[in-house]
Amino acid sequence: MTDATYTHHTGEQTLEMLPELTEVYLAARKDDPHRDDPLFSREQFTARTQAQAHSPGFNLVTVHVAGALAGFSFGFRFPAGGWWADATPPPEPILTATKFAVIELDIHHAHQGQGLAHPLLDALLTTRSEDYATLATIPGSPAQAMYERWGWYKIGTIGGEGPVMDAMLTDL
């Protein structure tokens, strides 16, 4: 495994780092067949992240390798009763529980396959007090298979803009 440094950041710090985060976001999708979907564009990522960085419970964790940003993960709190827009609702006990929504988990293409993603996500989630974590992933994608190996499971489907995604869940 690569020698890596994981660091937590606030929403304000995230906004200061947004240009560098955007470059890693785009580089992480180099071989992604959905990379040309407008939902995954530079402009959409920047606009979403600018808004999400102000969300309650927002947290960003970065991973640096040899002093360079190799990846990041961030998310924010879904309050009890909160859930993904345009999604099938989860069972009532999950809907009424607190959840942490993992919005991004991105590793620069040059650093993929080096064992950085799982510790990065762990660094983001181990400090959380919510009952569950949830994320959205494209059905059948390598990312979804990775999350399933890590114990996440499908809990619903998310429509709306971009490709249809699966809502996945894990206990915290």
pLDDT (tens digit per residue) in 119-152:
999 999 999 999 999 999 999 999 999 999 999 9
This prediction's pTM: 0.94
Rounded CA-CA distance 39/120 in Å is 24
Q: 73: number of CA atoms within 13 Å, CB side?
A: 19
Rounded CA-CA distance 111/116 in Å is 8
pLDDT tens, residue by residue, 28-45? 988 776 667 667 888 999
Domains of the chain are 4-171 (3.40.630.30)
Q: Residue 59 — very low, low, confident or very high, per pLDDT cuts 50/70/90?
A: very high
Residue 2 predicted with pLDDT over 80: no
pLDDT at 25: 95
